[in-house]
Structure 1
Amino acid sequence: MTTTGFAKAGGTPPAPLYAAIKQHICDAVRDGTLKPGDRVASEAELVEQFGVSRMTANRALRELQSAGVIVRRAGSGSFIAEPRPIGQMIEIRNIADEVRERGHAYRARVIQNVEERASGDMAALLEVPAGTRLFHSIIVHHEAEFPIQLEERFVLASIAPDYGAMDFTQATPNEYLTQIAPLERVEHRVSATMPDERTRTMLALVDSEPVLRMTRRTWSRGRLVSHAWLTHPGTRFELSAAFSLDD
């Protein structure tokens, strides 16, 4: 590694040194210079290499760890994290089950789960009159303490009357809704975008890291039940689908 790229082009002020180190390592991951399992420079090596303080080097590594880019092993050093989780685009699976199947601990942080009245925009998305009772939940799903999905969901109260009282640290919305409103139809739309500051903070994203956002609507018994935005860190998640074609 070199110190190239610390100052931004066009005469703009350089990025903070800790952010420049983070960006340098993330760029190395993206271009394949660093691969999963590769050792990352230690704090002492970063201090010497980039001419920064130990505190600056430590902050860069801590934030890379929080973002899931690296893992730090006591007595061994820091290493590029293993390949990204793969989510199934067509099959609707419970995220907690996916995480546990990969051998990792699952944890949910519930930001809110409140009752609201549908605004004009949300009423249109859910195909109901404005003012209809809804539940609005925001949950951050974690894998091995790393945030891997921000779920923001609107649910019709008439279909899921107990949704607002559920403890979603114990069971996911997917688990609850599957039980009371069996899936009949699912609509997906996926896009890549840059996150706002709120999303960046909730998912512990590094600077300039994009996200993959899935919009999901689900129906049960002929009625639209929920509208959800499922947002994943772009560098730590990918979607896959497999199907067979009849001859």
Structure 2
Amino acid sequence: MPRDTEFTKIATHYRQLIQDGTLSPGDRMPSMTEAAKEFQVTVTTVNRAYRMLKSEGLTVPKPGIGTVVAARPNVAVTGAARLGRLERTGNTRAPGESSSQHWSGLRSVADPVIADLLDVELHDEIVIRRRVHHREGGPSTFDSSYIHARALGSVGELLSEGPMERWWQELYKERTGQEVTSSPERRTARIISQTELDALGIEMPADRTAAVLVVVNVFHDEEGPLEVWEDVYPPGAWQVDEA
């Protein structure tokens, strides 16, 4: 392995352990000497990896202990990261993470961007599922899934209230035999809506606005676009690539 990638491999290893909940907020990170021995690299290389994790807000120094995992209320966990965790652990949620305000329904699509991404006509009916994820005791993301209506033929549970026991795409793949693939994540920023403010528990004067980070994943099957998954983060949140 080229020397300039050794530290990124170490950072990725610990980033995934933190993301998956194997390392929780407050847990002590291995000392640089311990990590150097485990990965068979120099302490200098480990130091570069640890500096990267610190710059991402994932770890903090703690006097008398060393480096510990940080509480991360402002670090965005993206849809791709959740899917990566699902593949590694069988769960999209980290330990201690929860969700609320689940809603699902069949509605006409009013957003031309969503209609275009799903390759449907404006005002066609689609399935919409929404929920709020909570981390560190407060709302961390407002998530919306915009799903092509043809998915209902195989996964009628999409219109059920509350969280599904399994991710709906797994059921879809089992029942149809089709593969589902994801396009690269799209990241943008826009002004937060009142619906999103309410869902995230944010109070803001009527004469003020705030920008939010929005991350979009688009999934396709053999027939075309199947789902648009949109994650909206509170003002001030920033993303770490944790997939």
Please indicate the TM-score interval, normalised by the length of the shorter structure.
0.5 to 0.7
Does structure 1 retain, via aligned residues, the 8 Å contact 2:71–2:136?
Answer: no
In 1, the alpha carbon distance for the partners of 2:152 and 2:211 equals 33
- Paired residue type of 2:219: T
Tell me what 1:97 maps to: 91
In 1, the alpha carbon distance for the partners of 2:131 and 2:79 equals 20
Q: Describe the shift of the 1:209–1:131 C-alpha distance in structure 2 as closer, same or farther (beyond 3 A).
A: closer
Tell me what 1:24 maps to: none
Structure 2 residue 186 is the aligned partner of structure 1 residue 185: no
In 1, the alpha carbon distance for the partners of 2:108 and 2:235 equals 32
Instruction: Summarize the alignment of residues 208-247 of structure 1 with structure 2, pairs less than 5 Å apart.
Output: 210-240=211-241
TM-score (norm 1): 0.51
Higher helix content, 1 or 2: 2
Does structure 2 retain, via aligned residues, the 8 Å contact 1:134–1:156?
Answer: yes
Identity across matched positions, percent: 12
CA deviation digits over 1:34-75, x for unaligned, max 9?
Answer: xx99xxxxxxxxxxxxxxxxxxxxxxxxxxxxxxxxxxxxxx
Tell me what 2:135 maps to: 143
Please identify the structure whose Cα radius of gyration is greater: 1
CA deviation digits over 1:68-107, x for unaligned, max 9?
Answer: xxxxxxxxxxxxx82344525755346893543xx31412
Does structure 2 retain, via aligned residues, the 8 Å contact 1:192–1:212?
Answer: yes
Query: More relative contact order in 1 or in 2 (CA 8 Å, sep 6+)?
Result: 2
1:153 shift after superposition = 2.1
1:213 shift after superposition = 0.7
Does structure 1 retain, via aligned residues, the 8 Å contact 2:143–2:229?
Answer: yes
Unaligned runs of 5+ in 2: 1-24, 27-69, 174-178
In 1, the alpha carbon distance for the partners of 2:79 and 2:229 equals 14
1:197 shift after superposition = 2.6
Tell me what 1:126 maps to: 118
Length, aligned pairs only: 159
Residue 204 (structure 1) aligned to one of 201, 216, 225: 201
- Paired residue type of 1:220: D
TM-score (norm 2): 0.52
**SS, match of residue 97 in structure 1:** coil
Q: Describe the shift of the 1:131–1:163 C-alpha distance in structure 2 as closer, same or farther (beyond 3 A).
A: farther
